[in-house]
Amino acid sequence: MSLLQDQVAIVTGSGRGIGAATAKLFAQYGAKVVVTDIDPEPANAVVEEIKAAGGDAIAVVCDVTKDDDIKSLIAKAVEAFGAIDILVNNAGYTWDGLIHKMSDEQWDAIIAVHLTAPFKIIRAAIPYMREVAKAEIAEKGAAKARKIINVSSTTGTRGNIGQANYASGKAGIIGLTKTLAKEWGAFNIQVNAIAFGYIETRLTQSRDLGEKTEREGQEITLGMPDKVRDLVNTTIPMGRSGTTDEAAGPMLFFASPLSNYVSGQVLEIAGGM
């Protein structure tokens, strides 16, 4: 299980859901993982699970919309493991509303977490990805492969009622992915995006569960109405939602040497939709 042996991976939003499954899978395949979440408890729990299985990981509390937190995340990753080889921009949440009812606050918050934050994290990682690769090329004639994986959504590729802000952020991250693949290809950095469909997470659970989060001073109820959940399942050829473990598999592909000549791509993981 050494596909990612000694690779250092940052996975944002990895205290829960797809991010947690990805962090654990990367560790299983030999990566040293920086588990980062806005909440310390779930991040620490994932690290404990990784270590119990014989892996190596640290937890870093990070609100990806805050510049100081981004700087701290990059600094702590390098301090702990000495490098950054894989960067997964996964953190995010939804704050839905029809466009004629959507506030500037809703729009700005979702664009900030799904588009501006990945841009700033990538920019903060430049000294440890692009510049290190540049030095390797000067010294050895070639750089080792490094990976950036940006998480998009089928809402970004197709649109979705009530999610103008989320759709725009997730469409924007595709543009960032394709541009960065062209800019950093010469440094042997592969940049790809995964557009997830209906994966069972806090964002797609039944809203009747009443789980809430607080962002920008607002209490936001997470999940989807049951009738919407039922309708979505009828549109999926496989007839069901995906699991977080099934979502993590494509992440492993894009993080591994198996994708060393794959860059600038958007892979939809949506059960055949």
Amino acid 233: pLDDT: 73
**Catalytic residue annotation:** 166
Pairing of strands 56-61, 218-221: unpaired
| pLDDT tens digits along 113-157 | 999 999 999 999 999 999 999 999 999 999 999 999 999 999 999
Amino acid 131: pLDDT: 98
| pLDDT tens digits along 207-248 | 565 565 665 566 666 556 666 656 677 789 998 889 999 999
Instruction: Look at residue 140 and give its three-state secondary structure.
Output: helix
Whole-number average pLDDT of the chain:
93
Burial readout 39-52 (b: 16 or more C-beta within 10 A, e: otherwise) = eeebbbbbbebbee
Percentage of the chain exceeding pLDDT 90: 84
Instruction: Map out the domains of the chain with their CATH numbers.
Output: 8-269 (3.40.50.720)
How does DSSP classify residue 174? H
